[in-house]
Amino acid sequence: MEQSELFEQITALVDNEIKDAVELRKTRELVEENETLKAEFLIQSQIKSSLKNRFGKVEAPAYLKERIVKQILQEIPVQKEKTKKSWFVSPQFAFAPVLAAIIVAMVFFFRSDDAGSIASRQSGWNNMFLQAKKNFQSIVDGKLPLEAAGSSSEALRQFFRKKGVKFQPIVPQTKQWDLIGAIVSDDNGEKLPHNVYKGKDGKLVYLYQANEECLKKKKAVTLSNDLLSMLDGGKYYKYKDGDRSFIVWKDKGKICVLVSNDSMEKLENSFLTAAK
């Protein structure tokens, strides 16, 4: 058996595709006896494990899948007679475009909307996601005091206007958390609002907002392009990191980043509903 065939056999072993007990035993013996094959087995096993842990199985959002399917269909020529003929004469070549389409779709299915991957691509000191993460921790630690206290949405909107916020931020009222105050930050000359909420059990919710112009034109704050594309497609992004829940969405031209140490489901049902 040639080396390439042996390596294919190793791949089958790693993928648990060998069903015959005798063949399985012989393959394992080969791996144990041959240092090259043993190294190949370890490498393939590690790669498979890393990919599985890194990407997981997260379905791509509907808008992205639709765009991928359209692109695939455009790249596969629709020639019925020619396809019919090639299917019978040379099926392996006729099937190739379909196989390619399936592979592309699978790659996007496993990778496109991986929450951890999107979070890892946030970078820079003025990134809203990272700022929100840091600010929430500072609030929890008591290192970021509120500039205005109160439970009135209108009073806090007036506070935001007086402090120089140039757009109308959302100030949701919810049953599970009480609005307790707000902060205004100066990001590259742009005044941006931050709402803080507290539940009866002491859990906190922090909401950071910026209008689209701040991100797309002025670049006062940023988010990764893939995350912005998701929001532009009408979707929202959620991510869980330990006891921290993150939700990012767009509401009438405003980008909203929410961080909390409370339940993701409760946050989605309260704040995303309140924003509609």
The verdict on 220 and 257 lying in the same domain is: yes
The verdict on 104 and 208 lying in the same domain is: no
CATH number at residue 208: 3.40.1000
The verdict on 89 and 158 lying in the same domain is: no
Burial class (CB in 10 A: 0-12, 13-18, 19+), 230: buried
Q: According to the 3-state scheme, what is the secondary structure of 46-61?
A: HHHHHHHHHHCCCCCC
Express each pLDDT in 231-267 by its tens digit: 999 999 999 999 999 999 999 999 999 999 999 999 9
The verdict on 159 and 243 lying in the same domain is: yes
Instruction: Report if residue 49 sits inside a domain.
Output: yes
The verdict on 92 and 191 lying in the same domain is: no
> What's the CA gap between 50 and 5, in Å, rounded?
24
Please give the average per-residue pLDDT across 55-81, as a whole number.
55
Q: In what order do the strands lie in the sheet with 254-260?
A: 148-149, 177-187, 190-199, 204-211, 254-260, 244-251, 237-241
The verdict on 68 and 50 lying in the same domain is: no
**Total-model pTM:** 0.61
Express each pLDDT in 210-219 by its tens digit: 999 999 988 9
Instruction: Report if residue 268 sits inside a domain.
Output: yes
The verdict on 101 and 147 lying in the same domain is: no
Residue range of the domain that includes 39: 3-55
pLDDT band at 111 (very low <50, low <70, confident <90, very high): very low
The verdict on 67 and 48 lying in the same domain is: no
Percent of the chain whose pLDDT exceeds 70: 74
Domain boundary at 11, 33, 55, which?
A: 55
> What's the CA gap between 223 and 226, in Å, rounded?
8
Domain boundary at 111, 145, 176, which?
A: 111
Instruction: Report if residue 144 sits inside a domain.
Output: yes
Instruction: Report if residue 117 sits inside a domain.
Output: no
Identity of residue 240: K
Express each pLDDT in 131-167 by its tens digit: 999 999 999 999 999 999 999 999 999 999 999 999 9
The verdict on 213 and 135 lying in the same domain is: yes
The verdict on 159 and 208 lying in the same domain is: yes
The verdict on 14 and 144 lying in the same domain is: no
- By the 8 A CB rule, do 163 and 191 touch? yes
> What's the CA gap between 259 and 96, in Å, rounded?
46
- The answer for residues whose C-beta is within 8 angstroms of residue 239's C-beta and 6 or more apart is 115, 116, 118, 119, 245, 246
Instruction: Report if residue 177 sits inside a domain.
Output: yes
Instruction: Report if residue 228 sits inside a domain.
Output: yes
Instruction: Report if residue 118 sits inside a domain.
Output: no
Q: What's the total number of domains in the chain?
A: 3
Please give the average per-residue pLDDT across 17-42, as a whole number.
84
Burial class (CB in 10 A: 0-12, 13-18, 19+), 178: middle
The verdict on 94 and 192 lying in the same domain is: no
> What's the CA gap between 272 and 229, in Å, rounded?
19
